[in-house]
Structure 1
Amino acid sequence: MTELPAPQAQTPRYVPGIKYILMLGALAALPAVTTDMYLPSLPAVAEDLQASQAAVQFTLSGMLLGGGVGQLVIGPLSDRFGRRLPLLVGITLHVVISLLCSIAPDIGTLIVLRVLQGFFNAAAAVVAIAVIRDRFVGSDAARLLSRLMLVIGVAPLFAPTIGQAIAGVWEWRAVFYALALIGAALVVIVWRFMPETLPVERRRPARPARVAGGYWQLLRNVRFMSLAVIPGLGLGVIMSYVVGSPFVFQDQYGLSQGQFALVFALNGVALVLSAQLNASLVRKVAPARLLRTASVAQLVFALILVAVAATGFGGVIGLCAALWLVLGTQGMIPANASVLALNSYGHMAGTAAAVIGALQSGVAGIVSPLVGLLGGDARSMAVVMLGTVALTVVVLLVGTPVFRKGGWRAFDVPADQTTEQR
């Protein structure tokens, strides 16, 4: 049996201005900022709280796991109560928990607080994606998501540098005061400037049975789930680099905190540039074609990264160059996969975005600790990144028609008018 989405009012075409894009980008970037600003402090946290490298890294991956669960809860709530209310509540609690993190007495308490922080600031990410789907589909949505990557890319470019400066003047706990301040500013911006994009007539009851039914509809759709897990695998690639890089570059290669922040920023440029290239190409090339090409190219670059890390070829410069290539192709993958996954689910965009976000946080939270468990050196980081990239290609090959001859045409259907793909 196939199931047709319920009829819904068509939203008038909307052309976003730069302020609107910046606002959505800031919301989508909040989890990344919360991660990256804290990055240079990892060695200091380990020393101050007398914790192991693996335990300190879990303050990052634990936040991702909390974010995965949070999106599954907040997504349906945003379909029921609209986008603004869950967003405002989530960011407000992010502020409170950031202040509690600043006084954490031990690593166990900090891990618990970071999991909760991920749970509540997940509202920012899931609502940002749902708002885009409320107003855009297809190539329009892919272009907007790619443009948002320019804003999101500012986090890797500047957040570690800012975090290092704050921790250098005060200590690592002061980083959480800054995160609380950022959250408070977002609350004010959303309250004053973000309109509600989900009309009352399009809202879905949040009864447990209805929510479970919506998730079941998505979970049994092989094509949707295959596409939905791709952003998670992509974030796993990034987070494997994120959690490993402070120790690889500062401990293994002897870079200072300032030098590490510069290297991190240069790799952030690769993500931004590829996202903008995707935004330009998607006007003429189908998102499915771009997804296929980028995933294969990334696999080749990941193989080169492993070879460089294993042999030490080129030293730190060789490693940075290989990482730049792998991370550069990443900017062309999540936006296209997300748009293709969401295309037929505008009637339940919050729930569908929650599944994508939960997989993104959950998969990345599972993958990233492997770097520390395998040794925490450059070779371990490269191997985990390669394995995750290879899994991306396998998922696309088995679960979608992307690699089949003319397979991209399977996605050339009117949004919200397709039957469920089995």
Structure 2
Amino acid sequence: MPNLSSSGERIALYTALTSLSAISIDTVLPALRSIETDLGSGTYFSPPHIVSLFVVGMIFGELLFGPVADRLGRRKAMLIGLGIFIVGTLLGAIASSLEEVVLARIIQGIGASGPKIACRATIRDQFAGDQMARVMSLIFGLMVVIPMFGPAVGQFLMSFWNWRAIFVMYAVAAIALGAWAALRQPETLPPNQEVDSHPRTVLVNIGKIIKNGRVMSMTVAIGLIFGAELVYLSTAADLFFEVYGIEKLFPVYFAGLALGIGIACFINGMLVERFGMESITRIALSLFSLFSLLLLAASVFYDGAPPLWMYFSILLVAFFCLGLLFGNMGALAMASLGNIAGLGSSIVSSGSGVVAVAYALVIGMLRQSPLTALAIALAIAGVASLLLVEFALRADAQPLSPANRKCLAC
């Protein structure tokens, strides 16, 4: 089997595999009403569950595929995940009720987590330090840009057939990615370094990861940052409409802010090996916190409705700082995981996801205007993450050694 011939091909493959989950969410958004019209309302589920339970499937799958990637290898985890994703996709394409679509989406979510977790572990196997941060930044940058076109692609496919065309596209994409990975991606887990997958051993390794101050501090920090972003995503449309009366041009403003994140990811990829991921993370978090506090001050001063130019400009700078953080924080969290990078990646990903959802729910309980609540979410996440990252960078950076049954019997 030929190896990937260049770093460009590796990054392209890892980006495509990792983006599968985001594309699976964004592309189906225009179809939610059509699915309900075609199949009728469900007894226990509604169209939004098509998205939310896909995410639940992903969180479960992330916990499942971590040990798989460490035991069977990264490449096999990718291919198994894609196989499960294809099964869910085919079930969705032939579904005759809303409940069947939701079940198919849960299976899809479980499958999509396989290549996501395996790719992160693969990157950890091949790159280290600032070079790993550069690669992850480039991948995150592409991941931000690619899903921006998801709703348009979904709408385009529906114009030729109906919502089932989107599931056909999922299947074709997964088969193509599976063939690409099978033909070109070598196994990166070193020979004879597979991690024991016995339940007791897995639990011991999970304990090692959870007790590692560096990994868990970064996990919580990543969760808070993503939680603040979730607050923005859940309130953005209402915020622009209620505060500024913007409805038709909302996608333009939304894309502009997303593009700022993507550009920052690419810039970070060019700078990180020169200045170091730790320095860039500290500076970006400091600026993110500063501009989040500035947005909060503006919101309070203008009674929750600062001028549009001021709101957009401050948020654009804050989101640009987010783009500098994504690859670096992920690399810092992965740096100490050693040969249990698969399990560690699943813990970091699912753990930060739980923190993000919990944080977004707490912020949602605040009785504030949408803009003020968003500013509070950004400011608290920024300051708290800065403290957590500073603690993480002072903690032990030695790679974790995986446990095995022989050691446990000693």
TM-score by length of 1: 0.79
Residue 325 of structure 2: which of 330, 333, 337 is its match? 333
Deviation at 1:162, TM superposition (A): 1.7
Matches within 5 A, 1:23-422: 23-41=13-31, 56-102=47-93, 104=95, 108-245=99-236, 253=245, 255-256=247-248, 259-305=249-295, 307=298, 311-315=304-308, 320-367=312-359, 379-380=369-370, 383-384=373-374, 386-387=376-377, 390-391=380-381, 393-398=383-388, 400-401=390-391, 416=399
What is the rounded CA distance, in whole Å, between the counterparts of 1:168 and 1:261 in structure 2? Answer: 20
What is the rounded CA distance, in whole Å, between the counterparts of 1:222 and 1:40 in structure 2? Answer: 42
Deviation at 1:35, TM superposition (A): 1.8
Deviation at 1:85, TM superposition (A): 1.3
String of CA shifts for 1:306-344, please: whole Å, max 9, x gaps: 6559633345x6655444333222112232222222222
What is the rounded CA distance, in whole Å, between the counterparts of 1:293 and 1:115 in structure 2? Answer: 39
What is the rounded CA distance, in whole Å, between the counterparts of 2:127 and 2:108 in structure 1? Answer: 29
What is the rounded CA distance, in whole Å, between the counterparts of 1:86 and 1:387 in structure 2? Answer: 36
What is the rounded CA distance, in whole Å, between the counterparts of 1:142 and 1:268 in structure 2? Answer: 20
Paired AA for residue 346 in structure 1: G
Matched residue SS, 1:333: helix
Alpha carbons 1:60, 1:243 under 8 Å: kept: no
**Residue equivalent to 1:3:** none
* RMSD (Å), alpha carbons: 3.6
**Identical aligned pairs, as a percentage?**
26
Residue 235 to residue 135, structure 1, CA distance change in 2 (3 Å): same
Which structure 2 residue ranges, 5 or more long, are not aligned?
A: 403-410
Matched residue SS, 2:274: coil
TM-score by length of 2: 0.81
Alignment length (residue pairs):
392
Alpha carbons 2:289, 2:378 under 8 Å: kept: no
Residue 396 to residue 263, structure 1, CA distance change in 2 (3 Å): closer
What is the rounded CA distance, in whole Å, between the counterparts of 1:47 and 1:251 in structure 2? Answer: 28
Residue 175 to residue 34, structure 1, CA distance change in 2 (3 Å): same
Between 279-288 and 138-147, report the one with greater CA deviation: 279-288
Residue 266 to residue 182, structure 1, CA distance change in 2 (3 Å): farther
Paired AA for residue 288 in structure 2: Q
What is the rounded CA distance, in whole Å, between the counterparts of 1:200 and 1:418 in structure 2? Answer: 16
Alpha carbons 2:366, 2:373 under 8 Å: kept: no
Alpha carbons 2:134, 2:272 under 8 Å: kept: yes
Which structure 1 residue ranges, 5 or more long, are not aligned?
A: 1-13, 403-407
